[in-house]
Structure formats: C-alpha cells, structure tokens
Amino acid sequence: MHTTQGRVPHEKATMSESERLPHPVVRAENLTIGYKNTSVISNLSFELPFGSSLALCGGNGSGKSTLLKTMAGLLPPISGTIEVLNAPPGKQPRRVAYVGQFHNENQAFPLRVKDLVLMGRYPHRGLLRRFKKVDKQLSMQALEQLEATHLANRPVRDLSGGQRQRVYLAQALTRQADLLLFDEPATGLDPVSMGLYRKAIAQTRAKGTSIVIATHDFKEARSMDVAMLLSRVLIGIGPPATVFTKDNLTRTFGVSITETAGDTSPNTFAVETHHHHQHHDDEEITRPSPFLTPPFS
C-alpha cells in the first residue's frame, strides 16, 4: 500500500462509486413477482448500475409498487432471482430505505415526529445501543431539508397527510442508505413541499445514492438516469429519452399520448386518441391517467 507516502494516491481518491463497487445496485433475472398465486410481472430481467436513479412508470396496477416492495424485501419473489446491493432483498436494512405508497401505520400510536424520524437509525443501532450525536444530527438535518423542523415535537397522529409524507421522507433520508425506494413519494405534497422534495432528491443523487422512484410525474421521470415503463410486462427500460417513445407510451397506457413541446408544467403529455390499441385485463389502465391533459388545440 502507498500509506508510507502519507497521502492517498490521486487515482484512488477520484474513483467513482461505481468503480469501487462494481456490483449493480439491483439485478433481476427471470424475475416473476406478485402476490401468493397471482403473478403481476413475469420474467423480468434488468440491471441497475450502482449510483444511478430509476423511474418506474406505468398506469395503476402496472406493477410499480409490486416491484418496489420486492426490492424492499416486503414481498418474496414468486420465481427467478433478484439481488439488491449484491444480496437478497431485505437483508441489508442499513443500506436500503423504503417509503411506501400507503402508510398503514397505527393512527392512534403516540409518537413524536422527531422520534419517528430517529427510527430511521434503528438498523444502525441494533436492539440496545444508544443513539449517538450523529443520529440526532442526521434526523434534524433531514427535517430541515424538508422544512419540517417546526413539526419535530408534534405528535405524528396530529399531522396532515402531506406533513406526514414529508416526515416519512425525512425518516428515509436519515437512514443514509445506499438505495432509496420511494413509491409515489410526491403524493399529497403541496407545491412548496414538492420543491423541497425535488431538492432533497437532487442532493441525495449528487451524493451517489441510488434511487428507485415509482412516479406518475413524467417530468420527474425524465430527470432520472434510467426509466422503466411497466404494464404488467416490461415495455421498455433505458435512458428516459429512448424509453418514452410514442409507441411505448401507447403500449403502456392503451391510449396514444404525445409530449407537448415547450410545456414545462408537470402535465407534459396530451392524449391524442382514445383508441385502445392493446388488450388489458386491468380496466384501470385503459382509462386516461390523471396526469394526462386534454388535447391542446
């Protein structure tokens, strides 16, 4: 080793995360996922490089949440293999943080916001070890990032839906994980919180953290490194520009949608026709999704 020189070799210092950790952050091979006897997506194979961000897009019931839950280790795969950070899902709680779409938490539970955020550090401290200064700093920092510091001493049960969502996102950030799994994280956020959320995601990505986000916001999806279109089958995966083609979107949503040029609002797609080009057993998919705007004249 070069330690005798008193400094770390230059090449080593500038090595990127992906070079030091050559394993993909998520690797799926012939993966079939779903619930008990109902498979939602079959034979899914993909690799997500370490440090990259992935947007999962698709209609309601397309399998986005199922895939996220499988990655989080909440749902065992039906068949095939999936590795998260080079291990079976759910085996490295310190390195993965998950925020689900629905919080089925006990509403009556007495818990202060700061204690809930600190729960994000449980995996690091095990059963009995006391919280360190860094744990409290990290949770206050995360609350600051989402401008929720003033909520710190409030009981969680008194919060509104949007406030609660910000607190859960803060809890996930507190974990300092290598992989964040967010299921429609912007749900219920007001415009101000939305801005804070976007900033927090950008900062986390800049640190080299891998992120998988299920989202209906195509503007957000296009800002990611990789996009995946799902419709109970894999429609496409790759750089967003190559995935969000007219053809792929039609196959995903059953209606033809095009991007409206020059529009910078979150609703950047317009419905072109309402023909159902593909058969779907899920009725939900064939209806225009909420993010689709009426045709522009």
Partner 1 sequence: MNWVTDPFSSAFMQRALAGGILVSVICSIVGTFVVLRGLAFMGDALAHGVIPGIAWATLIDAPGILGAGIAAGVTIFGVNIVTRNSRLSSDTAIGLLFVGMLALGVVVVSASDNFRGDIVNILFGDILGLGNSEIWTLAITALVVAGVVFLFHRPLLLLSFDPEQARTAGYSDKVYSTFLLFLVAGAIIVSFQTVGTLLVFAMLLAPASTGTLIGRRISTIMATAIVAGIFSAFAGLLLSFHYDLATSASIALTAVSLFFITLAASSLRLTRKHAYDPRQGSARKSNYV
Residues forming beta bridges with residue 92, ordered by sequence position: none
For 267-295, give the secondary structure using H, E and C: CCEEEEECCCCCCCCCHHHHCCCCCCECC
Per CB under 8 A, contacts with partner 1 among 141-160 are 147, 150, 154-155, 160
Give the nearest distance from C-beta 35 to partner 1 in angstroms: 14
Length of the chain: 297
Strands 53-57 and 79-84: unpaired
Per CB under 8 A, contacts with partner 1 among 30-49 are none
For 159-174, give the secondary structure using H, E and C: CCHHHHHHHHHHHHHH
Interface with partner 1, residue 96, by CB under 8 A: yes
* N-terminal to C-terminal alpha carbon distance within the chain: 67
State which of residues 1, 108, 206, 261 lies at the interface with partner 1 (CB under 8 A).
108
**Cβ closest to partner 1, residue 16 vs residue 106:** 106
Q: Are 254 and 285 spatial neighbours (Cβ–Cβ below 8 Å)?
A: yes
Interface with partner 1, residue 131, by CB under 8 A: no
**Cβ closest to partner 1, residue 172 vs residue 227:** 172
Interface with partner 1, residue 290, by CB under 8 A: no
Write the CA distances from 168 to 8, 146, 159, 245, 266, integer angstroms: 38, 10, 12, 34, 23
Binding residues for partner 1, total number by CB under 8 A: 34
**Cβ closest to partner 1, residue 41 vs residue 148:** 148
Give the nearest distance from C-beta 92 to partner 1 in angstroms: 8
Binding mask 52-91 for partner 1 (x = CB under 8 A): --------------------xxx---------------x-
Reported as type and span, the H/E element at residue 223 is none
Interface with partner 1, residue 122, by CB under 8 A: yes
Closest CA to 237 of 247, 249, 229, 246: 229
Give the nearest distance from C-beta 72 to partner 1 in angstroms: 6
**Cβ closest to partner 1, residue 47 vs residue 147:** 147
Write the CA distances from 145 to 78, 123, 176, integer angstroms: 38, 22, 14
Alpha carbon distance 244, 173 (integer Å)? 29
Site of interaction with partner 1 (CB under 8 A): 72-74, 90, 93-94, 96-98, 100, 103-106, 108-112, 115, 119, 122-123, 127-128, 147, 150, 154-155, 160, 162-163, 190, 192
